[in-house]
Copies of this chain bind each other. A is one copy, B any other.
Amino acid sequence: MCTVLTMTNMRHRILACACDLYLRDGFKGFSMRKLARDVGVSAPALYRHFENREKVLIDVVGEAHDEMFRALSRALSGATPLERFEMAAEAYMDFALKHPRYFQMIHSFMQVMGMDEAPPELAHRACAIQQFWEDRVRECIDTDILRPDNTERIGLTLWAHAYGLLSLYSRGLLVIPEEDFREEFRTSHRRILFGLGKEAAGRIFGRTIHVGAEHDQAAETRQTMEPIR
């Protein structure tokens, strides 16, 4: 009993140090020797708790995934489906910007490790993220904010966009200040949501509907006066 407890604690201690080490030195700087030094034990001792270096890193990326999911989940405190959706996007962005190493690790782990397919621990977690976005879509459709459609696919469209944009920025490929990017991300996310939305969504976003507005002379005028940008 006591042995098991010690084992578990030690494993957690190692994992905590491993996360710190990765966040500090990245993949390339992550070695079992350094980890042992940080934990305060010898290198071979680590192998009592983890089979090898890869298994340690799988657990680190698992932690990264879980922390991201917890951040997303906090968006569920929003009052309405739309608010929850917007808060989720904001939380996703926050996580990517505040924890770039974690965000990047989640999405480049396989390449770095030279894996051809995702280990189950990660595949399951990716499914949870996908499901999360799908749920956000479903409740927006249920409350008539989005047009009825295949929720899985719409969720995927929005997830892919959010991930793609954050990934590009996180790697420094978009040369704009962070505050400008944050606004651009929100706008881009809404742009898609808006394009998928029912008429009501437009008013909720405080914007004028343009698609199909050519049928409406008054709207035509509004569009001219209040162009989207």
Q: Which residues of A contact B (CB under 8 A)?
A: 26-29, 79-82, 104-105, 107-108, 110-114, 116-118, 123, 126, 130, 143-145, 147-150, 153-154, 156-157, 159-165, 167-168, 171-174, 184, 187-188, 191-192, 194-204, 209-216, 219, 223, 227-229
Contact = CB atoms under 8 A, between A and B. Distances in A.
A197 B53 CA distance: 50
A188 B160 contact: yes
B173 A199 contact: no
Q: Is the interface of A mostly helix, strand, loop or mixed?
A: helix
Contacts of A112: 27-28, 108, 111-112
A164 B148 CA distance: 23
Contact of A165 (B29, B164, B188): B164
A130 to B, nearest CB: 8
B171 A156 contact: no
Given A149-B228, A157-B188, 19 more contacts: A28-B112, A81-B229, A82-B228, A104-B111, A108-B108, A111-B111, A118-B172, A143-B229, A153-B187, A157-B192, A160-B168, A163-B164, A191-B195, A199-B211, A209-B215, A211-B212, A212-B213, A213-B215, A215-B219
Contact of A200 (B172, B209, B223): B223
Nearest to A201: B228
B198 A211 contact: yes
Nearest to A29: B114
24 contacts: A27-B114, A29-B114, A80-B228, A81-B229, A82-B228, A104-B111, A107-B167, A118-B171, A130-B173, A147-B211, A157-B188, A157-B191, A161-B161, A161-B164, A163-B164, A164-B164, A194-B195, A195-B211, A202-B211, A202-B212, A209-B212, A212-B212, A213-B215, A215-B219
Q: Name the residue among A153, A188, A211 with the largest chain B CB count within 10 angstroms.
A: A211
A200 B80 CA distance: 34
A55 to B, nearest CB: 16
A80 B160 contact: no
